[in-house]
């Protein structure tokens, strides 16, 4: 009788232990997500890195627990992507020069002004006197007179791009000049192009920022720019043009060589009596001296 009682007690203990183990197993199953193990892999061994980085950030922000392994697995691909991006940037810096017309976006031009070039200043009265005496010179009052002067041959149209120069986006002038002024522009730009040809600065180009203005354009410019002449400017006669910049074809071309070349050319032409120059705060104002 005593032995039978002891056997019953042992079976009771076994049943109790089994019940505790069963309850523990259910509790553990509730902690681990369905189909996912502790090591962050699903039942097929694939890493549980299915959320986009922004999705993980959203869940953490909202206070929902995100397993550290998921953030870690996402961080590694992000780091791996940084290498080709940096390599692309570095190779672009030493790659071929960009194509297309000047000026080029992202490449700062070289300034042409009294602060960057040393040239003697010819009084504006000399510019005015010469502007009125050049062959075919007349005061361009409006668009009708501008077109009439072009039709007569007193004014010539300046191409947007030429050897060694290009025109800026003109907002207060028109692409016309007296033939004498255009001849000076072409000689200056052609000599500059020749100076750059075959050097490390090849491709640099002079930017022409202002040519012939009508009377109304001069008045509008005066309202925006206090330095603009208040009256009959030499630009109103088609006799003058402004050089404000030298545009570079790429970042490897520095300003020293092109700026020195243009300064030397203008000094030579001024010394030889070909041009009158006023070095201004933002450009070089140039008028023909001989015709």
Domain residue ranges of the chain, discontinuous segments joined by +: 2-91, 110-288
Alpha carbon distance 149, 143 (integer Å): 10
- What lies within 8 Å, CB to CB, of 90 at 6+ separation is none
pLDDT by residue (tens digit) across 145-168? 999 999 999 999 999 999 999 999
* pLDDT greater than 70 at residue 15: no
Q: What is the mean pLDDT of residues 218-243?
A: 77
Residue 105: per-residue pLDDT: 85
Residue 8: per-residue pLDDT: 53
Residue 11: per-residue pLDDT: 59
Q: Is the pTM of this model over 0.75?
A: no
Average pLDDT, the chain: 75
Residue 231: per-residue pLDDT: 60
Question: pLDDT band at 83, cuts 50/70/90?
Answer: very low
Q: What is the mean pLDDT of residues 271-283?
A: 96
Using CA atoms, how far residue 281 sits from 116, 140, 163, 219, 278, in Å, is 9, 26, 26, 20, 10
Residue 19: per-residue pLDDT: 65
- What lies within 8 Å, CB to CB, of 264 at 6+ separation is none
Give the residue, 7 or 203, on which the prediction is more confident.
203
Tokens describing residue 158: 């300046």
Question: pLDDT band at 24, cuts 50/70/90?
Answer: low
pLDDT by residue (tens digit) across 107-150? 999 999 999 999 999 999 999 999 999 999 999 999 999 999 99
The partner residues of 36 in beta bridges, in order of sequence, read 42
- What lies within 8 Å, CB to CB, of 12 at 6+ separation is none
Query: Which residue, among 151, 175, 160, 166, has the nearest Cα to 235 in the 3D structure?
Result: 175
Tokens describing residue 55: 């999705």
Question: pLDDT band at 100, cuts 50/70/90?
Answer: low
* pLDDT greater than 80 at residue 94: no
Fold for 110-288, please state it: Muramoyl-pentapeptide Carboxypeptidase; domain 2 (3.30.1380)
Give the residue, 28 or 50, on which the prediction is more confident.
28
Alpha carbon distance 156, 146 (integer Å): 10
Q: Residue 211 burial by CB count (10 A; 0-12/13-18/19+): exposed, middle or buried?
A: buried
- 205: how many CB neighbours lie within 10 A of its CB? 25
- What lies within 8 Å, CB to CB, of 171 at 6+ separation is none
């Amino acid at each position: 009788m005593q032995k039978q009682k002891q056997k019953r007690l042992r079976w009771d203990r076994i049943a109790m232990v089994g019940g505790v183990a069963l309850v523990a197993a259910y509790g553990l199953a509730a902690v681990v997500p369905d189909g996912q193990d502790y090591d962050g892999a699903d039942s097929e061994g694939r890493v549980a890195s299915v959320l986009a980085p922004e999705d993980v950030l959203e869940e953490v922000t909202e206070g929902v627990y995100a397993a550290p392994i998921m953030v870690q697995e996402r961080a590694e691909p992000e780091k791996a992507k940084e290498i080709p991006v940096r390599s692309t940037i570095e190779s672009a810096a030493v790659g071929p020069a960009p194509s297309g017309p000047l000026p080029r976006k992202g490449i700062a031009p070289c300034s042409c002004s009294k602060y960057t070039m040393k040239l003697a200043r010819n009084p504006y009265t000399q510019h005015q006197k010469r502007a009125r005496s050049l062959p075919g010179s007349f005061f361009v009052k409006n668009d009708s007179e501008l077109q009439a002067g072009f039709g007569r041959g007193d004014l010539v149209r300046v191409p947007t791009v030429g050897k060694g120069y290009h025109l800026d986006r003109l907002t207060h002038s028109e692409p016309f000049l007296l033939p004498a002024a255009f001849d000076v522009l072409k000689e200056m730009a052609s000599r500059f192009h020749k100076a750059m040809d075959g050097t490390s600065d090849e491709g640099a180009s002079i930017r022409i920022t202002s040519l012939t203005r009508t009377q109304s354009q001069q008045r509008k410019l005066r309202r925006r720019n206090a330095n603009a002449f208040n009256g009959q400017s030499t630009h109103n006669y088609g006799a003058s043009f402004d050089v404000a910049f030298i545009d570079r074809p790429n970042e490897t071309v520095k300003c020293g060589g092109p700026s020195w070349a243009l300064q030397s050319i203008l000094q030579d032409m001024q010394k030889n009596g070909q041009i009158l120059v006023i070095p201004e705060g933002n450009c070089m104002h140039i008028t023909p001296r001989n015709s």
